[in-house]
Amino acid sequence: MKAPALESPRLMYKPLGLGHCTDQYVGWLNDPEVYRYLETGGNYTLDMLRDYLEGVERTEILFWAIHLKENGKHIGNIKIDPVNWKHGFAEYGIMMGERAEWGKGYAHEATRRILDFCFQEVMLRKITLGVVEDNAGAYGLYRKLGFETEGVYKRHGLYQGKYCNIVRMAMFNPMIDDE
């Protein structure tokens, strides 16, 4: 499934693609504050980003660029991938790259919009995610949104030179009663 264009009060969501291949985006992937708890980042180049975005464009994937409505600025990305169509669950991920825009409720607004799309239009049953326990910003965001912890992978991944716990969280579609 391809990502459709969506919007919410302050934000627009466009399918991520080659049009988003910018120095600004490369800058996010080389900003340790941004990639500290991510799986990629550091020593990134425009060529690497172009290759990556070419791959995204060729794929059926729910992957959006998040833009500010007020000025069109690209401030981050959000994705629902992979999707398990048989069981009706899918994995969520977000990166707000523009640090100047942190703390304004944009990740919360974007996640809420994409969850509504997944639950109301795609009719997915369950959205899952993994977060490094030390990533206070993301962990706080997910708890505020209502994600619940399903388990903890102990000392699972190496971040900042330390083996950290990964918290697995999930939210069920309130419109589907599967019990």
Ligand X SMILES: CC(C)(COP(=O)(O)OP(=O)(O)OC[C@H]1O[C@@H](n2cnc3c(N)ncnc32)[C@H](O)[C@@H]1OP(=O)(O)O)[C@@H](O)C(=O)NCCC(=O)NCCS
- Enumerate binding residues for ligand X (CB under 6 A): 34, 37-38, 94-96, 102-108, 131, 135-138, 140-141, 144
Nearer to ligand X, 27 or 140 (CB): 140
The least CB distance from residue 144 to ligand X, in Å, is 4
Nearer to ligand X, 4 or 137 (CB): 137
DSSP secondary structure code for residue 120 in this structure: I
Half-sphere exposure of 142 (CA within 13 A, CB side): 24
Nearer to ligand X, 53 or 107 (CB): 107
* Pairing mode, strands 6-7 and 11-15: antiparallel
The least CB distance from residue 115 to ligand X, in Å, is 13
Distance of alpha carbon 155 from alpha carbon 164, whole angstroms: 5
Provide the token pair at 32: 């340790």
* Closest residue by beta carbon to ligand X: 140
The least CB distance from residue 129 to ligand X, in Å, is 7
Provide the token pair at 109: 């607004």
Calculate helix-pair angle for 136-145, 106-116, nearest 10 degrees. Answer: 50
The least CB distance from residue 143 to ligand X, in Å, is 7
Nearer to ligand X, 2 or 108 (CB): 108
Nearer to ligand X, 55 or 140 (CB): 140
- Asked if 72 contacts 7 with a C-beta cutoff of 8 angstroms, the reply is no
The least CB distance from residue 138 to ligand X, in Å, is 4
Distance of alpha carbon 136 from alpha carbon 147, whole angstroms: 15
Distance of alpha carbon 91 from alpha carbon 93, whole angstroms: 7
